[in-house]
Structure 1
Amino acid sequence: MNRIDVDMGDLYAFVAVAEKLHFKAAAEELFISQPALSRRIEKLEGATGVRLLDRSSRRVALTESGRLFLQHAHSIIGELEAAVHGASDSMRQRAALVTVACVPSVVHNVLPRLLKTFAQQFPKTRVHIIDERGEEVLHSVVSAVADFGINFTGAQEADIDFTPIYGERYVLAARKDHRLARRKSLAWKDLVDETFISVSSRSSNRILLDHALAKLTTRPTVTYEVNHVTGALSMVVAGLGVAAVPALAMSKEEYPSLVGIPLTHPTVSRTLGIIVRKGSLLAPPAQALLDLLRREAKNGFAGGQAQG
């Protein structure tokens, strides 16, 4: 198939002349010179192989072929404008939605207060939060479902940029009336006689803890097992036992009856980071929310943690 040497400027020029039936008026409407307009019409007639306009020094008229071509030109221009406007609308809609994939501890105890600030800056922007375990958070970013993520895994992925923002240690969640609640710190061996609540063995939190405690000869025995940290904390609130959880999970507002006691020997921590797809360019609202998270991390996510 031979390439047709016609551009949209040629079509717009022809439509302007066909509607005005006057070269000077058409040229003024298009903000081009009359010779430039004439060259566009000649180029279009050369490409189509037919005469589209009858013109003399006194008048301009459409030929039969010109009238037929005018219908096609209107159709082509209309389709292009619809496509351009549709793409623009789609981008505006995408820019008006920020999707963040985030581990639950950050969602519950960090994002709410940040979103209040964000809403003041972008009042018309919708925010979709994917609060899942680390594996799902990573998958959401890799698959472009989320604009960015907050996670403690992802550094190993070739297509992901992982930027560390916060080192988070594990603490013992206990009720304030628990016999250990006044301790400044606890060794893992101090928990052997406690009723211990843990997240599922499939959880990234559990895998990290099991790996860190693998060399201990004395370690707590799990009595209750749940799928999520929030479930474990609810059981602690109910007085069923104690649980080792990430420090960010210990919200003073959400769990006023609990304390978080630093765990030592060994000290176990995880590194939270921002994960984005390599080469991705965030829309301004998404970038603004990410920047808010970075600033909050520099302050140690201090707004929502419970102190032991």
Structure 2
Amino acid sequence: MRLDFEFGEVLAFVTVAQTLNFRAAADRLHLSQPALSRRVEKLEAALDMRLLERTTRKVDLTEAGRQFLNHAVVILEELELARASMVERASRAKQLVTVACVPSVANHVLPDILRLYAQTHPGVRIRIIDESAGKVLEAVMEGEADIGISFLGAQNAEVDFTPIRSEPYVLAVRRDHPLAAAAAARWDSLEAERLIAVSLNSGNRILIENVLAGLPRRPTIHYEANHVTGALGLVSAGLGVAVLPALALANNAYPALVGIPMRDPELSRTLGLVTRAGTRLSQPASALHDLILRKIGE
């Protein structure tokens, strides 16, 4: 069903009906009196009935005008409620920032950054998606996350990747392991160890597999966990050793373990901030983006 009148015409009629004075109504709506009269006349033409009785001395409502006024007031009130609801919804959306990040960042880096952020943005709500590097990239590309912190995306045209820092991989071992006092660990020495690895779905595993594939004799993977935290739990239990990003052992999170730098070859990943290409961040998201860039890069 198509309505043959416009919002402005209904508003003009209601304002005249409430004031019963064209000059007062025109002033209230910031219109000239002729423009106001044309709007009312167009509404009457669309309804095919007279809504106002006009004389040189006064304005009054017709019976049809009184009946239509009741409906028109409800319409305007409902539209105002809808507008206010949309404004409130948009305001709430601007006050929510979603960060997708790899679990090692979520566990060891992000909490301290968010503590600082809350001091300057106490009203902003934060949602964290702690997933694998591939899922972090996917969350940003699909618009589910405002900001991503990962080591994948540098070659993806759909995102902007801002490098923060290079992070080395280390061999995580128990402090009572024979290698614990070593200055470095060689990849070819892993053949003698019970190796623990993260899932093939993990971006870490992809990087590690590239090195393992080039070894003369490939070490046997005895245990596999979906996430870095699971692999560290197995190492802590004395079930083997694991090659993991150094960040996983940050802040003395696992005091029973030590990380030994990997050599021949060295392996590292570039951690960076990921945002959708061509997307402008909200002010709260932009502030958090800049804080992450500054603090992780220190």
**TM-score, normalized by length of structure 2?**
0.89
- Which whole-Å deviations, capped at 9, do the CAs of 1:31-88 have from their partners, x for residues lacking one? 4443443333234334444332111121111123323332343233233222221211
Counterpart secondary structure, 1:250: helix
2:265 corresponds to which residue? 266
What is the aligned length? 298
1:275 corresponds to which residue? 274
2:146 corresponds to which residue? 147
Counterpart secondary structure, 2:192: coil
Structure 1 position 137 matched with structure 2 position 110: no
1:298 corresponds to which residue? 297
Distance in 2 between residues matched to 1:75 and 1:65, nearest whole Å: 16
Contact 2:212 2:219 (C-alpha < 8 Å) held by counterparts: no
Structure 1 position 204 matched with structure 2 position 203: yes
Counterpart secondary structure, 1:251: helix
Distance in 1 between residues matched to 2:6 and 2:92, nearest whole Å: 30
2:41 corresponds to which residue? 42
Residue identity opposite 2:294 in structure 1: R
1:285: Cα distance to partner? 1.8
Contact 1:213 1:266 (C-alpha < 8 Å) held by counterparts: no
Distance in 1 between residues matched to 2:3 and 2:26, nearest whole Å: 27
Distance in 2 between residues matched to 1:62 and 1:157, nearest whole Å: 66
1:16: Cα distance to partner? 1.0
Write out aligned runs for 1:38-117 (5 A): 38-117=37-116
Distance in 1 between residues matched to 2:17 and 2:34, nearest whole Å: 17
What runs of 5+ residues in structure 1 fail to find an aligned partner?
Answer: 300-308
> Which stretch of the first structure deviates more once superposed, 270-279 or 101-110?
270-279
Distance in 1 between residues matched to 2:86 and 2:157, nearest whole Å: 30
1:215 corresponds to which residue? 214
Counterpart secondary structure, 1:252: helix
1:22 corresponds to which residue? 21
Identity over aligned pairs, percent: 52
**TM-score, normalized by length of structure 1?**
0.87
- Which whole-Å deviations, capped at 9, do the CAs of 1:175-210 have from their partners, x for residues lacking one? 333322232222212332223221123322112211
Distance in 2 between residues matched to 1:144 and 1:15, nearest whole Å: 43
From the superposition, tell whether residues 104 and 47 of structure 1 become closer, same or farther in structure 2 (CA, over 3 Å): same
What runs of 5+ residues in structure 2 fail to find an aligned partner?
Answer: none
Distance in 2 between residues matched to 1:277 and 1:81, nearest whole Å: 34
Contact 2:53 2:61 (C-alpha < 8 Å) held by counterparts: yes
Residue identity opposite 2:10 in structure 1: L
Contact 1:188 1:219 (C-alpha < 8 Å) held by counterparts: no
Distance in 1 between residues matched to 2:155 and 2:3, nearest whole Å: 47
Residue identity opposite 2:146 in structure 1: D
Distance in 1 between residues matched to 2:18 and 2:200, nearest whole Å: 74
Structure 1 position 253 matched with structure 2 position 252: yes
Residue identity opposite 2:283 in structure 1: P
1:194 corresponds to which residue? 193
> Which stretch of the first structure deviates more once superposed, 123-132 or 26-35?
26-35
TM-align CA RMSD = 2.3
> Which stretch of the first structure deviates more once superposed, 11-20 or 149-158?
149-158
